Amino acid sequence: MKIYHNPRCRKSRETLKIIQENGIEPSIVLYLEDKLSEQELTTIIKKLNISAFDLLRKTEAVYKENYKGKTLSEKEWISAMLKHPKLIERPIVVKNKKAVLGRPPENVLSLL
């Protein structure tokens, strides 16, 4: 199990705690520091079964200033998230071929 984690985010911390309370020590990816590859982000989006646009944090200033109201392709949204990792919704938990967003944190229970 792997969690794409931002320790400054309450939902991310709560999701990690639920995983650990269930006896699992996941691999932790600090995606704001260790940037994702295009392939890795594309794979995550497929496992989440959502579009790249649906993974965007639309409340971030970088979204509002640079992307709000724009119609981009899937690949262009992925490029935007790679350029600005803050745009990636968090946390993301991946286990084998499935992934969930930890919003709410209890979503992770479906992977345990």
- Active-site residue, from 1, 2, 9, 57: 9
HSE toward the beta carbon, residue 86, CA cutoff 13 A:
10
Position of tokens 């992770």? 108
Whether 60 is a known active-site residue: answer no
Contact between 48 and 99 (Cβ < 8 Å): yes
CA dist 89 → 12, 22, 48, 51, 96 (Å):
10, 23, 12, 12, 20
- Pairing mode, strands 27-29 and 2-4: parallel
Active site residues: 9
